[in-house]
Amino acid sequence: MARLVIVSNRVPDPAERGQRAGGLVVSLAEALAPGSLWFGWSGKTAAHTSRAAKQVEAGGLSYATIDLGETDYRAFYLGFSNGSLWPLFHMMPGNAVFDRGDYAIYREVNQAFAAALLPLLRPDDLIWIHDYQLLGVAAALRVAGVTNRIGFFLHIPFPAPALFELLPPATALLEAMLTHDVIGFQTTQDRGHFLGALSSRLGLAASDGVVIHRNRKINCVVTPVGIDADSFTVMATNIARRIDARRMIESLAGRALMLGVDRLDYTKGLPERFDAYRRFLQDYPEHRRQISFLQIAAPSREEVERYRTLREELNHKTGSINGAYSDFDWVPLRYMTRTAARSTVAGLYRIARIGLVTPLRDGMNLVAKEYVAAQNPADPGVLILSRFAGAAAGMPEAILVNPYDIDAVAEAIAAALVMPQEERQARHAALLERVQDVSAAAYCRAFTAWLAGTGG
């Protein structure tokens, strides 16, 4: 069997695998057969970007990482990846900045990734590259003569063509993407946007997701990311019995818990969510003291200015909501800007009567799927989900909302709070089946089959 080589910007710390496993590790677990290689950034900066990777073996896998030079980190990671591509791909051009110098370094860093990976490659390796930080790695590998099959999966949305075209190097990025053999998207809408951009910028037509470019065939496929629902259910059930969870339940004093869990990112719609909660408190005084909203927001990309202003904005809104509505014995909003352990969060999901997942735009959003998997089927909570998360395409039994419409989100909170048990059970049963079907394992199987040339 061919070896699988995963290439991603962040590489999990082998020492932490399993305990603090992040999203990508969980999603890829099924594909990582012993002997696979995982290549990417170490998460560390140095005086210069490394020319050669450092390799360690752990748990049957090889991990190879490079450090980024400080200047490269700023221009590649903070600059073009997270200052230009991230906001634009999430269709929020107002948050995007463009700098030609940053883009030049983005290309150079992608070339440095390719150069350090090259000596580690074997002729029949299947190479699977992940996400927007690495759009140009395959093109650099091709220039170096690599003929292996290379796949790319975009974890974030692909924007509508009219927005994609705002990127000065739009054409160059499409050309670079077309050096892969397979390009995977989370939803049919994302793939449609990409094919639309190919048509408007390069005049290319696709048939059944297949594009022919420079005598090469590229499969554009939809393979949504999922979770391992059964193991998440077990973790949530076990943790919900432990002491932290009992403390949480005691502190609620019989009130319903509404829970939000996100990275502190402007795409997650947190200011709008807080405004909607305030609107709910204002418009539904009869429900006021029946609910407690806990928002966990893990700090992220704090060196990007827009993330700092977001943090200040949320601090301000929290103070304002609690100042206006708190009582001697009740605080309406608990807001935590710390990273909580995955297992703790699993237990909290199970306790929560409402899961509030309202990003303004999101590639998939695995919180929505984890929330469903964590529920007690006999007495499940209600998922309120943004229509603009990729997950919404496959979760029609959630209460779907437009996160910009704060009145509608306030209404949804009130509806969730009083939803009868039979309706909660019926919605949850349907959602759980979908989350179990569109699993992490199914994602890996579908994408690797396309990569190996046996998909479809």
Active site positions, annotated:
155, 362
Q: Measured from the CB atom, is 156 or 416 closer to ligand F6P?
A: 156
Separation CA 78–CA 346 (nearest Å): 31
Separation CA 438–CA 456 (nearest Å): 16
- Using the rule CB under 6 A, is 20 a contact of ligand F6P? no
Residue among 17, 287, 301, 342 that touches ligand F6P (CB under 6 A): 301
Residue that has been written with the tokens 């050669």 in this structure: 52
Minimum CB distance to ligand F6P, residue 131 (Å) = 4
Separation CA 373–CA 226 (nearest Å): 11
Minimum CB distance to ligand F6P, residue 70 (Å) = 17
Does residue 156 contact residue 131 with C-beta atoms inside 8 Å? yes
- Using the rule CB under 6 A, is 74 a contact of ligand F6P? no
- Using the rule CB under 6 A, is 445 a contact of ligand F6P? no
- Using the rule CB under 6 A, is 142 a contact of ligand F6P? no
Residue among 2, 3, 10, 340 that touches ligand F6P (CB under 6 A): 10
- Using the rule CB under 6 A, is 255 a contact of ligand F6P? no
Q: Measured from the CB atom, is 95 or 233 closer to ligand F6P?
A: 95
- Using the rule CB under 6 A, is 300 a contact of ligand F6P? yes
Q: Measured from the CB atom, is 152 or 277 closer to ligand F6P?
A: 152
Q: Measured from the CB atom, is 66 or 351 closer to ligand F6P?
A: 66
The contact pattern for ligand F6P, residues 152-171, with x = CB under 6 A and - = no contact, is ---xx---------------
Minimum CB distance to ligand F6P, residue 42 (Å) = 13
- Contacts of ligand F6P in 122-141 (CB under 6 A): 131
Q: Measured from the CB atom, is 9 or 358 closer to ligand F6P?
A: 9
- Using the rule CB under 6 A, is 279 a contact of ligand F6P? no
Shortest Cβ contact with ligand F6P: which residue? 155
Minimum CB distance to ligand F6P, residue 367 (Å) = 12
Minimum CB distance to ligand F6P, residue 282 (Å) = 34
Q: Measured from the CB atom, is 49 or 82 closer to ligand F6P?
A: 82
Q: Which residues contact 112 (CB under 8 A, 6 or more apart)?
A: 49, 50, 51, 66, 72
Count of residues that interact with ligand F6P, criterion CB under 6 A = 7
| Binding site residues, ligand F6P, CB under 6 A | 9-10, 131, 155-156, 300-301
